[in-house]
A and B are shown apart, each in its own frame.
Chain A
Amino acid sequence: MTAGTSRHDEFERVAMPHSRSLLRVARHLLSNQPAAEDLVQDTLLRAWRGFDQFQTGTNAKAWLFRIMFNAFHAQRRGTRSRALLVSLDHAGAEVDQSGGDGLGLSDAAAVSQALGSLSPEHRAVLFLGVVEGFTCREIAGILSIPIGTVMSRLSRARQALRERLAPADSSRRARSALCSEREARELP
């Protein structure tokens, strides 16, 4: 086996399995699917070109996300006037509406809308911490910010998400109560 082949195999084993996670976060950072795919493509190509610098045994997923956020920030700097906020038309499948967590996360569309209205900074920490399961320390490394900033952003992001979802949840509860009342009146 040549050195090139083994490097290639190692990259396939270490980096490529994370493309879906990268795309998931990119899709919520950027305004559309093609832009998100391009960001992930760019991330993986950068990773491939710098793969010699990757230390085997360290956290490859965190390394890839760090590359992706560097690329993302470079794009934002290069396109200051362009809106990079996520569009609200990719809410995804409906999930069960059990709610009951006090946050009103009762359907996917509402959550996607609420996420889309957060700042990219808040969205980033929320996705990295809550969805991708990175620790605060890892997020600090990925975003190149102090851990204290990660903690405060996470708290504010969670709070902001709750605030954005609360009105929708209240109105849904009100609608539900109204329906129940109407059904009760219509019952024989």
Chain B
Amino acid sequence: MNCRDITRLAPLYITGELEVERAAEFDAHLRTCSSCIEEVERQARADARLREVILAQEYDATEVDRRVRGLIAAEAKGHQLPRFERGWRRWTAVVAGFAAALVLLLVAYLSLGAHFPRVYADAATDHRLEVVEHQPRHWLTDPEQIALLAEEQAIAPAVLDRIASGNYRLVRGKLCYLDRRIFLHLVFSDGTREFSLYLRPRDAKGWPSGPVREIANRRPLCTVDFDTNHVASVETPEILAFLATDQSADAVLTLARFVAAVL
């Protein structure tokens, strides 16, 4: 065994994966080669220090654990949860909608002339597919069950009550993904038209927002228009809310102002 073999086999030697015979040859070489033994020892010390540095950092998984347990419990109760899949099966299921969404995104991109966070486009597409076009989904319609689902997502059910206290009635709810993150998707109705409200507890570092339209109730209110669909966002210290409607840019603004006032 030569010095090059030592370099090559060092990872297996350090993890104790070298076969007994090879390990003996490795040891024998180290006994006769001071530069190799120095290198292996330096590497072992460096590994130990790296481990020490990383393990000294705080990684709190409490929030993730809570969310996972909540989702598993929801599944156990028969709620159909969204799948985090990007495979061909998902694409074939939404291929028609996807093509339309592409056109919608292109139009929005050209009209804005700038990038905006993907979550707005996702909200517009999701609202169009699930609310405007009524694609079949498993919705909860019992307010108590919806409140329970909100609670499992760390959203106080009182928030739902406050929004429903105006001219809007909570019609149905479920979970969905926007930009790879889980949101509580609620559909409200004013008696004639429905709009979507997507809620999620605010992340520690916030969320990349779209263009700020105005400050409502001391909260930045952002709006992005996508052809016939309109999305607005409102952020409080606790909650992130996205609204989507197919009515008009003015309608989503009115809704967002109302949500900013009651959140």
**B67-89 Cβ-contact flags toward A at 8 Å (1 or 0):** 11101100110000100101000
Residues of B within 8 A of A135 (CB): 15-17
Residues of B within 8 A of A75 (CB): 180
> Do A20 and B15 have beta carbons less than 8 Å apart?
no
Q: Within residues 228 to 258 of chain B, which ones have a CB less than 8 A from any CB in chain A?
A: none
> Do A45 and B7 have beta carbons less than 8 Å apart?
no
> Do A33 and B15 have beta carbons less than 8 Å apart?
no
Q: Within residues 49 to 73 of chain B, which ones have a CB less than 8 A from any CB in chain A?
A: 49-61, 63-65, 67-69, 71-72
Nearest Cβ in chain B — how far from A17, in angstroms? 10
Stretch at the interface among B40-48, B122-130, B138-146: B40-48
- Given A16-B65, A71-B84, A78-B86, do A45 and B54 touch, yes or no (CB 8 Å)? no
- Cβ of A27 under 8 Å from chain B: yes
Among A4, A46, A48, A92, contact of B56 (Cβ-Cβ < 8 Å): A92
- Cβ of A160 under 8 Å from chain B: no
Residues of B within 8 A of A45 (CB): 68, 71-72, 81, 84
> Do B17 and A20 have beta carbons less than 8 Å apart?
no
Nearest Cβ in chain B — how far from A54, in angstroms? 15
Most buried by A among B9, B59, B71: B59
- Cβ of B205 under 8 Å from chain A: yes
**A38-56 Cβ-contact flags toward B at 8 Å (1 or 0):** 1011101110100000000
Q: Within residues 155 to 203 of chain B, which ones have a CB less than 8 A from any CB in chain A?
A: 180-182, 203
> Do A129 and B56 have beta carbons less than 8 Å apart?
no
- Given A111-B50, A129-B11, A136-B17, do A20 and B59 touch, yes or no (CB 8 Å)? yes
- Interface of B, secondary structure class, is helix
Among B16, B45, B48, B68, contact of A41 (Cβ-Cβ < 8 Å): B68
Nearest Cβ in chain B — how far from A26, in angstroms? 9
> Do B57 and A101 have beta carbons less than 8 Å apart?
no
- Cβ of A57 under 8 Å from chain B: no
- Cβ of A86 under 8 Å from chain B: no
> Do B43 and A34 have beta carbons less than 8 Å apart?
no
Residues of A within 8 A of B203 (CB): 33-34
- Given A71-B84, A101-B45, do A23 and B11 touch, yes or no (CB 8 Å)? no
Nearest Cβ in chain A — how far from B100, in angstroms? 20
Q: Which residue of A lies closest to B47 (CB)?
A: A130
Q: How far is the CA of A8 from the CA of B142 in the complex (A)?
A: 26
Nearest Cβ in chain B — how far from A133, in angstroms? 8
- Given A8-B72, A19-B68, A95-B53, do A155 and B10 touch, yes or no (CB 8 Å)? yes
Residues of A within 8 A of B134 (CB): none
- Given A38-B180, A42-B84, A136-B17, do A27 and B50 touch, yes or no (CB 8 Å)? no
Among A37, A42, A108, A137, contact of B17 (Cβ-Cβ < 8 Å): A137
Q: How far is the CA of A16 from the CA of B65 in the complex (A)?
A: 7
Nearest Cβ in chain B — how far from A144, in angstroms? 17
Q: How far is the CA of A9 from the CA of B230 in the complex (A)?
A: 45
Chain B interfacial positions (CB closer than 8 Å to A): 7-12, 15-17, 42-43, 45-61, 63-65, 67-69, 71-72, 75-76, 81, 84, 86, 180-182, 203-205
28 contacts between A and B (CB under 8 A): A4-B76, A8-B72, A19-B68, A22-B61, A23-B61, A24-B59, A33-B204, A33-B205, A34-B204, A37-B63, A38-B181, A38-B182, A41-B67, A44-B68, A45-B68, A45-B81, A92-B53, A92-B58, A101-B42, A102-B46, A103-B50, A105-B53, A108-B57, A130-B47, A131-B55, A136-B12, A151-B8, A154-B11
